[in-house]
Amino acid sequence: MGDDTADDPQARQPGESRLYFRQLLSGQDFATSDPIARQMVNFAYLIGDRETREAVVVDPAYAVDDLLDILAEDEMQLTGVLATHFHADHIGGNMMGYSIEGVAQLLERQGTKIHLQAPEAELVQKTTGISMSDMELHAPGDVVSVGAVDIELLHTPGHTPGSQCFLVGGALVAGDTLFLDGCGRMDLPGSDPAAMYRSLHDTLAKVPDSAVLFPGHRYSFEPSATMGQTRQMNYVFKPRSEQQWLMMFGQG
């Protein structure tokens, strides 16, 4: 299993003693026999309340039974699903001719809701085949509570129209909005470079330097870093204006 001590925001936030937080790497901590999972190096996250034993899973894909087994081993009960965005490597569906297990299979095993930003709903439905009744649609700034643990939903379009990040207990779970090095692609259907600039430089500006960034893929040697370190080292924070950003990415 993954090391949930070194990468646990609870270790950096003593006041969040109820926070249950695990970062799990596909192909290593779960879905170990899946070559696509090993190639894509996606992270899934488990977030919950250690006292009420409730938890949600962020971006379940590849092997949902493995993720449920990890929760069971930790004596946690799944009460919801959070999706950063609609791409199949994060929530399941068809990708490059390969069928990836994900939220559709998870909801079959355990009835719950998947929490999304409203602009992502139809794309998630198209990718996974789940129904609108399986979704809980949100607006920017909404909060999903798991026991006494509050998770703030930050709408960060750019990679996709409804991309969102999750701010909880000193951690920012960022999906493909922000990596330790770089950010999500902006040349895919539904991507918007200008929106990505505003998400990174405006919306995420509220996230303090002390918060720990947990990305959607392990594209760097380290699995996490503080936002202060990321802002200092990541080239996506170098442009000082939207015009510079668009010029940097060949859009203007």
Checking if the pLDDT of 215 tops 90, the result is yes
11 falls in which pLDDT band (50, 70, 90)? very low
Could you read off the pLDDT of 81-126 as tens digits, one per residue?
999 999 999 999 988 788 999 999 999 999 899 999 999 999 999 9
In a domain, 128, yes or no: yes
In a domain, 250, yes or no: no
Look at residue 151 in the predicted model and tell me its pLDDT. 98
Radius of gyration of the chain (CA): 17
In a domain, 185, yes or no: yes
In a domain, 136, yes or no: yes
For 17, 55, 68, 170, 210, the CA distances from 127, given in Å and listed in that order, are 37, 24, 22, 31, 35
Look at residue 24 in the predicted model and tell me its pLDDT. 98
C-alpha span between 2 and 7 (Å, rounded): 9
Could you read off the pLDDT of 184-204 as tens digits, one per residue?
999 999 999 999 999 999 999
Show the domain range for 116.
Answer: 9-240
Amino acid at 178: L
Q: What is the average pLDDT score of the chain?
A: 93
Q: pTM of the entire structure?
A: 0.93
Look at residue 96 in the predicted model and tell me its pLDDT. 79
Give the domain CATH number at 70: 3.60.15.10
In a domain, 84, yes or no: yes
Number of domains in the chain: 1
Look at residue 95 in the predicted model and tell me its pLDDT. 84
In a domain, 70, yes or no: yes
Look at residue 17 in the predicted model and tell me its pLDDT. 84
The torsion angles phi and psi of 77, rounded to 5 degrees, stand at -115, 125
Query: Of 158, 215, 218, which is closest to residue 188 (Cα–Cα)?
Result: 158
Amino acid at 88: A
Could you read off the pLDDT of 24-54 as tens digits, one per residue?
999 999 999 999 999 999 999 999 999 999 9
